[in-house]
Homo-oligomer: A and B are copies of this chain.
């Protein structure tokens, strides 16, 4: 299936590499696919692959703008909103704009990631990157560092759990609904952290 013709100056080299990689990963698995295989299918050379992606995993994770967008949304959120309501607002918008309507593709990528330790590594660090970005945004809002840390961790916790729950269920409700469900469960659990709260535990 490798192109023998002159693809060198065909447009969208990066996109061709991503397409070829995703195809091969689903055909043979991630580990069994080599970079030369990918570039052969895309009609490019190995060296060019590493000009577009820092390493083999980035062909899946590359071009993620969620941290920046989330930070901007937090900065633009009404000042009077409670911490976790800012989180809810941002997550809803990210869900709608980035994921809703791409359920199948998202599920495929999540499956791929969960099947390979090297990709799980990278996915877990991406989560950490998101936490850092959100934390910085809340500090920018004037929150004390520990509060910003915990809010950011909580927000990304909700995001990650919701994303995997949503992606794993073929008949899942809209991702915004999953987010709300996770946040509600979080509220239940946190009750026992506040002995002052006078509600009995379920």
Contact = CB atoms under 8 A, between A and B. Distances in A.
A105 to B, nearest CB: 22
A194 to B, nearest CB: 4
A83 interface: yes
A19 to B, nearest CB: 25
Interface residues of A, number: 41
A121 B149 CA distance: 19
Contacts of A196: 199
Nearest to A146: B185
A154 B151 contact: no
16 contacts: A83-B192, A85-B192, A117-B125, A121-B122, A121-B125, A124-B125, A146-B181, A146-B182, A146-B185, A147-B189, A153-B157, A157-B157, A186-B193, A187-B190, A190-B190, A190-B191
